[in-house]
Amino acid sequence: MPNLSPTTELAIDLISRKSVTPEDAGCQEVMIGRLEAIGFKVERMRFGEVDNFWARRGSQGPVVAFAGHTDVVPSGRLEAWQSDPFQPSIRDGLLYGRGAADMKGSLAAMVTACEAFVEQHPDHLGSIAFLITSDEEGIATHGTVKVVETLESREEKIDYCLVCEPSSTNRVGDVIKNGRRGSLNGVLTVQGKQGHVAYPQLAANPIHGASRAIARLCTEIWDKGNDHFPPTSFQISNINAGTGAENVIPGELTLVFNFRFCTEQTEESLKSRVHQILDEEGLDYQIAWRLSGHPFLTPEGALVDAAKQAILEVTGFPTELSTSGGTSDGRFIAPTGAQVLELGPLNATIHQVNESVSVDDLDKLSTIYQSVLNRLLVKK
96 three-class SS: strand
E strand or H helix at 309? helix 302-315
Catalytic residue, candidates 24, 51, 71, 137: 71
- Burial (CB count within 10 angstroms: exposed 0-12, middle 13-18, buried 19+), residue 48: exposed
- Active site (annotated) includes residue 136: yes
31 three-class SS: helix
Query: How many angstroms separate the CA atoms of 145 and 270, rounded?
Result: 23
Rg over CA atoms, the chain: 24
Question: Do residues 249 and 203 lie in contact, with contact meaning Cβ atoms separated by under 8 Å?
Answer: yes
Report angle CA 350, 351, 354 to the nearest 5 degrees.
80
Between the alpha carbon of residue 297 and those of residues 60, 157, 177, 269, 340, the distances in Å are 26, 18, 9, 19, 8
- Active site (annotated) includes residue 71: yes
Beta-carbon contacts of 278 under 8 Å, excluding residues fewer than 6 positions away, are 188, 213, 285, 287
Catalytic residue, candidates 115, 136, 137, 329: 136
Beta-carbon contacts of 238 under 8 Å, excluding residues fewer than 6 positions away, are 254, 255, 256
Query: Catalytic residue numbers?
Result: 71, 136
